[in-house]
Amino acid sequence: MGVSRQQLFQQLSSQQWDGFLKGVEKEGLRVDQDGFIAQTPHPEGLGSALTNPRITTDYSEALLELITPVCSNTEELLGSLADIHRFVQSHLGDELLWPASMPCRLDGDASIPIAEYGSSNIGRLKHVYRQGLAVRYGRMMQSIAGTHYNLSLPDTFWEFWQQAMGDDQKLRDFKSQQYFWLIRNFRRRSWLLMLLFGASPALDASFVKGVSHDLSPFGKDSLQGEHATSLRMGDLGYHNNAQSSLDICFNQLDTYINTLDRAIHTPWPPYEAIGTKRNGQFIQINTNILQIENEYYSAVRPKRNTEREEKPIQALSARGVEYIEVRCLDLDPFSATGISETQVDFLDLFLLDCLLSESDVISDSECRTLDCNYKEVISRGREAGLTLGFDGHRATVLEEAGSLVEQLAPLAQLLDEWEGGSKYERALTAQKAKLDDPSLLPSARVLGAMAEAGQGHLEWSRGMARQHQETLRSDLLSEQTRQVFEQMARQSVSEQQAMEDSDTLSFEDFLEHYLAS
């Protein structure tokens, strides 16, 4: 029997271990004092949503996206995220930043303003893409917010790992192969993240007005999934029929690129019926299953930073996988920044173990089982006795979750020894406590807090938003940090203006060239 991947990893020394590289993209709706989605433009003091590297918008003009730089440790990451929040809060006036993944009070699609990015061709492309999402799926599901967690390992690790594995590929190709190894195990285990961190079991009734659903009433104006962990990731959230026809393969880079590319170039009759223009104005980029790669909703993505006007799959094809983006995380409404220290440390441990565990290619039948497990935990994860399918047998959610968390203990101990602390042990202890007492699961805590306060989703979330705002505003940015953010905002406005001034093609010609490239 050969040496296991875990045994190979243990051959590293504390001097050779350089830790993780990590970043967060955190979304959040701006809302007014009544808890209604903000109708105001992107705050001027935050700079250009098109070009500011730290503060942009996602789908809606009201849906902020806060982006940390790449950080080398959890303390640096959370400090950066908190600083961005403090700067944003200083420019919100009397508006609030919504702390929950499921949105505030809405009044149909018309109440959700689509994000604006100026008159440059790139800016218009981003806006038209969002118009396309509106005509395809409606705007309501685009008002949902989440946290994306980005993780990579430094080249010092990959060089050691490639040598330990006896591999002689180009380092770029080896890294891509290994990141997909990680992704396959992530697909097998992602249900665990939805159990431990799903925090959207309830919503405001305005979100499903006129829509068929199986939710239960919670007070006057709220609804709940009685045993749900994450309504955000369920059928009421990121879901659509066209994408259910896709068979995006996560086994290796070339098949992933090819299947995604095929979806981008395959016409979809209902979208063809809509057309690309209405009254002479573009309303979607094209009429294919996907307008662009970013339209594909998945719990995880292999990523590579793109150059200007470069498409994501072009970047992946040319330079390979650079990092992994975990996309299934709900906002933690109990945290002022939407994510906690123990969650970040657990994610690092979880993802590293996905790399170090055996990872066969996922067959079609296994893929169906994994999708079923994921959906079951999202919709019924806190149901007593719920069982999932695992490699030919069934086990209860809590049994299998406990086994997976326990499996991480030796790795946590090793990393704590190397890094000289106990943070990974603390992260595991926090998750074990949830499994020992399911009332501590975030989804249960949200419903418990709402019930204890005698409030619905709107009132409770608004109260948390005010509490977080007070916390962040009472802890002022240093003068130096404030000046850095202000300079970044000014620079972003200049960059957007330069982009607008430098365009030479009409948008129609630009779009034709973009789609043909």
Mean pLDDT, residues 485-512 taken together: 97
Beta bridge partners of 165: none
Instruction: Indicate the burial class of 498 (C-beta count within 10 angstroms; 0-12, 13-18, 19 or more).
Output: exposed
pTM of the model: 0.97
Residue 235, SS3 per DSSP: coil
Host H or E run for residue 516: helix 507-516
Tell how far CA 199 is from the center of its chain.
Answer: 14
Q: How far is CA 302 from CA 68, 299, 325, in A?
A: 18, 11, 6
98-103-108 Cα angle (round to 5): 135
Host H or E run for residue 133: helix 121-137
Using only the alpha carbons of the chain, give its radius of gyration.
23
Compute the distance between CA of residue 263 and CA of residue 485 in angstroms, rounded to an integer.
39
Residue 389, SS3 per DSSP: strand
State the sign of the Cα–Cα–Cα–Cα dihedral 363, 365, 367, 369.
Answer: negative
Q: Crossing angle, helix 121-137 and helix 507-516, to 10 degrees?
A: 70
Residue (of 439, 344, 289, 301) closest to 80 by Cα position:
344
Mean pLDDT, residues 414-442 taken together: 97
Mean pLDDT, residues 41-55 taken together: 98
Task: Decide if pLDDT at 58 tops 90.
Answer: yes
What pLDDT sits at residue 392? 83
240/320: higher pLDDT:
320
What pLDDT sits at residue 204? 98
Task: Decide if pLDDT at 467 tops 70.
Answer: yes
Summarize pLDDT for 444-453 with one digit per residue, the tens. Answer: 999 999 999 9
Amino acid identity for residue 37 in this structure = I
What pLDDT sits at residue 16? 87
Compute the distance between CA of residue 298 and CA of residue 281 in angstroms, rounded to an integer.
30
What own/partner pairs with CB < 8 Å and gap ≥ 24 does 463-471 have? 464/99, 464/100, 464/333, 464/334, 465/31, 465/96, 465/97, 465/98, 465/99, 466/96, 468/97, 468/99, 468/335, 468/336, 469/89, 469/92, 469/96, 469/97, 471/336
Average pLDDT, the chain: 95
Task: Write down the H helix ranges in 381-478.
Answer: 397-407, 409-419, 423-436, 442-453, 457-474
Least confident range of 18-22, 310-314, 331-335: 310-314
Summarize pLDDT for 264-316 with one digit per residue, the tens. Answer: 999 999 999 999 999 999 999 999 999 999 999 899 999 999 988 889 999 99
Compute the distance between CA of residue 6 and CA of residue 352 in angstroms, rounded to an integer.
10
Q: Crossing angle, helix 74-89 and helix 341-356, to 10 degrees?
A: 140
Task: Decide if pLDDT at 59 tops 80.
Answer: yes
Tokens of 225: 């999934």
Task: Decide if pLDDT at 246 tops 90.
Answer: no
Amino acid identity for residue 238 in this structure = Y
**Residue 239 pLDDT grade (very low, low, confident, very high; cuts 50, 70, 90):** low
In the chain, count H helices and then E strands. Answer: 18, 14
Compute the distance between CA of residue 53 and CA of residue 56 in angstroms, rounded to an integer.
7
Host H or E run for residue 407: helix 397-407
What pLDDT sits at residue 2? 72
What own/partner pairs with CB < 8 Å and gap ≥ 24 does 367-371 have? 367/187, 370/187, 370/188, 370/190
Tokens of 266: 């395959």
Tokens of 215: 């939710």
Tokens of 68: 């940390």
What pLDDT sits at residue 306? 92
Summarize pLDDT for 132-171 with one digit per residue, the tens. Answer: 999 999 999 999 999 999 999 999 999 999 999 999 999 9
Tokens of 412: 């946590």
Least confident range of 59-73, 102-116, 235-249: 235-249
Amino acid identity for residue 509 in this structure = D
Compute the distance between CA of residue 46 and CA of residue 423 in angstroms, rounded to an integer.
34
